[in-house]
Copies of this chain bind each other. A is one copy, B any other.
């Protein structure tokens, strides 16, 4: 079932390696079926060298395995919870990419300092609150999703397709699994640059809001004119 989606999700996982976002097996990408009933996700702890679509696991929205011999990624409950709450997203990418994780560990949001950032993220990339001891002990991966959802109470996942989980690492998403990888790549780039800027100036100047509007909307708004086939 969902052979197309398995191929897309497998390719997305391999692209994480190609883009240098993954060390060892620290990363996973998933996609949701069009009817939003099933999620395809990488198996847990599997090496990337020989990954095939058949190593993808199909789960339902409660995280139960529907198809596949392998155990799904240990982060599956987080993915599933995000799909349940963010109805507009079609794919999720989780990595421990170096610079985004630096900000997650520093528990600092990534300020919007330039147009590279504004092209992908409509404002500062948020960081969650730390999980409580109870949240960690009882249902850690589900609650990781919960603190993300909580952090997005007043944020739109479409306009802000990434988050940093405090003390952990980033999650990114998008309309498709391929787009979620793209946002994870962009996130890592803007994190690296923001760290560099902080080494030059203690209090960097945030990008002017009218430039943020311009850049985000020329790529993502109804009047987008970047690329060949603007997103709807």
Contacts and interface: CB of A to CB of B under 8 A. Distances in A.
Contacts of A71: 225, 227-228
A169 B116 contact: yes
Interface stretch (A5-13, A83-91, A147-155, A191-199): A191-199
A228 B44 contact: yes
A140 interface: yes
B44 A226 contact: yes
Contact of A169 (B115, B133, B140): B115
A52 B189 CA distance: 26
A37 interface: no
B228 A102 contact: no
A98 B226 contact: no
Contacts of A23: 185-186, 189
A24 B182 contact: yes
A195 B195 contact: no
Contact of A227 (B44, B101, B103, B196): B44
A136 B214 CA distance: 7
Interface in A69-117: 70-71, 74, 96, 98-99, 101-108, 113-116
Interface residues of A, number: 62
A142 interface: no
Contacts of A108: 200-201
A25 B192 CA distance: 18
Nearest to A194: B105
A119 B25 CA distance: 11
A110 B112 CA distance: 21
A168 interface: yes
B228 A167 contact: no
Nearest to A23: B189
